[in-house]
Amino acid sequence: MQKTLLVAALVAGLSTAACSRGANDQSSTSPSTKGATGSGTADTSGYGAGTGTGSGDVGTGMGTGTGSTTGTGGGGPTAALDPAVPQTFFTRVAMSDMLEIEASRAALQKTQNAEVRKFAQMMIADHTKTTQDLTGLAQGASLTVPAALDGDMQAKVTNLQNADAAGFDDKYLDTIIDGHEAAISDFEAYAKNGKDAKLKAWATKTLPTLRKHKDQAEAVRKNVNRS
């Protein structure tokens, strides 16, 4: 009888230990699946690349964090202009002027073509004038003039400044034509539906000059490619 009780006690002890060990193993291998949702931020000005960051607390399990990022841009307005926001149009126009002026200054240093040089001089003069117009419009409309080009547009200028003389004229004229195509699209949208009356009237008045610039740039490019 005493022997039977000892055996039963031993079996019970082993069973309890096995259960405890199984529970511990499950606890140590079962992952926490709670992950923190990350956050994303973006540049929504219409220029430049949007950036964002996402982070998640993985902890001891399989949880993952996600970040949502949205952005627009890449050297020009890639999103449709919202005429209800005067500052967006104003910023795009001001940066477009800066790009045309700085690209044309690079052309004066690099080009060996008299026609390209004359065109670059005209670009500097005309876009300096529109920059002055914008400064006047900003003073009466609580609009902010951007201090510098965004990263992508500055990269375009830097590429021209560092380009070899051979093939420079084509690169310069392509930059000017692309810039004017984007600007014309914005000006047309704001001239049609802009919410700020003075800015809308100015956009309407300036559009013909931009179209003329684009046509002239294309004509110069044809002449350069023939020579």
Name every residue whose Cβ is closer than 8 Å to that of residue 47 and which is 6 or more positions away in sequence. 72, 73, 75, 76, 77, 91, 92, 95, 150, 152, 153
How confident is the model over 19-24, as a mean pLDDT? Answer: 43
Name every residue whose Cβ is closer than 8 Å to that of residue 142 and which is 6 or more positions away in sequence. none
Task: Express each pLDDT in 51-60 by its tens digit.
Answer: 344 444 433 4
d(C-alpha 191, C-alpha 88), whole Å: 14
Domain residue spans in the chain? 86-226
Lowest mean pLDDT across 4-13, 127-136, 141-150, 185-194: 4-13
Local confidence band at 83 (pLDDT 50, 70, 90 cut-offs): low
Local confidence band at 81 (pLDDT 50, 70, 90 cut-offs): low
184 near 73, Cβ under 8 Å?
A: no
176 near 123, Cβ under 8 Å?
A: yes
Local confidence band at 142 (pLDDT 50, 70, 90 cut-offs): confident
Local confidence band at 79 (pLDDT 50, 70, 90 cut-offs): low
CATH C-level class of 86-226: mainly alpha
Residue 52 in tokens: 């964002």
pLDDT at residue 183 greater than cutoff 80: yes
**Bigger pLDDT: 31 vs 165:** 165
Give the whole-number percent of the chain exceeding pLDDT 70.
63
